[in-house]
Amino acid sequence: HGVDKYCVFGNPIAHSKSPDIHAAFAAATEQRLTYEKRLAPLDGFAQAVHAFIAEGGKGANVTVPFKLEAYRLAGALTVRAQAAGAVNTLLFDEYGITGDNTDGAGLVADITVNAGVPIAGKRVLLLGAGGAARGAVLPILEHRPAALAIANRTVATAEALVQQFAPLGGEGVVSASGFDGVDGSFDIVINATSASLQADLPPVSPSVFHQGTLALDMMYGKEPTVFMRFAASHGASVRDGLGMLVEQAAEAFHGWRGVRPRTAEVLANLR
């Protein structure tokens, strides 16, 4: 009987914080496991996963650029992975490979628990319609917002999300537009574009913010992003994506180990 093995697959992967987060969870919950980084070749994700399973791997996280491939590789999918069309968490057992997506649940936990901002009855603006945005829609709708506006550079992609999710959100709750077509102000604004990676800003009007809007950028790093600075200068309180990262990890850990780790101390230590 060895110690249960987990890892995170990505390319690049050197700067992943996931090993530190899961090591802290394991220590706090007295779970015996190892969790390592694995650089998967861009054309060799499936082989890397099968090699890890052959070594006795019990589960893995998946990050850029493999979340769609992980979705296709999984023999079974959770409802939220199916809805997201992407997988960030794999579970390996006697039934095969199960794919889950904990990113959206992590986002919602960070907003409602860590930031203490309820989503129920609120007006929510989601910027972006890529993998991270898609994973966020169902978990947000489960909290019954008054409105969920999805704005994207490529409007058709946002409209496709409305097609998919409007029946789950209720009459008139989910809508789509380009960045310049966003109407009114919002209680919660989430930047799920990758614009911050290029120090770029999704071109939304500052009137989407009001005093006390919660503005969250899914990106994280040493410095506040351009989006966070823009939102703060128009009266919003701002958060980066680090809380989301820790919460999606906690959700994955719970799926693997059946134990829910506390996150506050891990998040504080990462900061």
Catalogue the active-site residues: 67
3-state helix, strand, coil in the chain (%, to 5): 40, 20, 35
Q: Does 10 bind ligand NDP (CB under 6 A)?
A: no
| Residue 129 counted as an annotated binding residue | yes
Q: Was 248 annotated as part of a binding site?
A: yes
Q: Which two tokens stand for residue 229?
A: 């600075």
End-to-end Cα spacing for the chain: 36
* Shortest Å distance, C-beta 196 to ligand NDP: 6
56 carries a ligand binding annotation: no
The three-class DSSP label of residue 177 is: strand
Q: Which two tokens stand for residue 32?
A: 């015996």
| Residues 154/162, Cβ–Cβ less than 8 Å | no
- Candidates 18, 89, 152, 185: give the one binding ligand NDP (CB under 6 A): 152
129 binds ligand NDP (CB under 6 A): yes
| Distance of closest approach, residue 218 Cβ to ligand NDP, in angstroms | 4
Q: Is 243 annotated as a binding residue?
A: no
4 CB contacts (<8 Å, ≥6 apart)?
A: 32, 33, 34, 58
Beta bridge partners of 33: 4
> In terms of Cα–Cα distance, which of 109, 87, 136 is closest to 247?
109
213 contributes a contact to ligand NDP by CB under 6 A: no
Interface characters, 71-110, with ligand NDP (x: CB under 6 A): --------------------------------x-------
- Least Å distance, CB 56 to ligand NDP, is 27
According to the annotation, is 130 in a ligand binding site?
Answer: yes
Q: Is residue 195 part of the contact set for ligand NDP (CB under 6 A)?
A: yes
Q: How far apart are CA 119 and CA 133, in angstroms?
A: 16
CB of 255 to ligand NDP, least distance (A): 16
Q: Smaller CB distance to ligand NDP: residue 88 or 185?
A: 88
Outline where the chain has alpha helix (H).
18-29, 45-54, 67-73, 79-84, 103-109, 131-142, 155-169, 226-232, 242-257, 264-270
Span 218-257, contacts to ligand NDP by CB under 6 A? 218-220, 241, 244-245, 248
- Which of 143, 153, 210, 254 touches ligand NDP (CB under 6 A)? 153
Q: 66 vs 92, which CB is nearer to ligand NDP?
A: 66
- Residue by residue, DSSP assigns 147-176 as EEEEE-SSHHHHHHHHHHHHHHH-TTTEEE
Considering only 193, 228, 252, 267, the residue that binds ligand NDP (CB under 6 A) is 193
Distance CA(253)–CA(259), nearest Å, equals 7
Residue type, 14: A
- Binding site residues, ligand NDP, CB under 6 A: 103, 128-133, 152-154, 157, 192-198, 200, 202, 218-220, 241, 244-245, 248
Binding site for shikimate: residue ranges? 16-18, 63, 88, 103, 220, 248
Binding site: residue ranges? 16-18, 63, 88, 103, 128-132, 218, 220, 241, 248
Binding site for NADP(+): residue ranges? 128-132, 218, 241
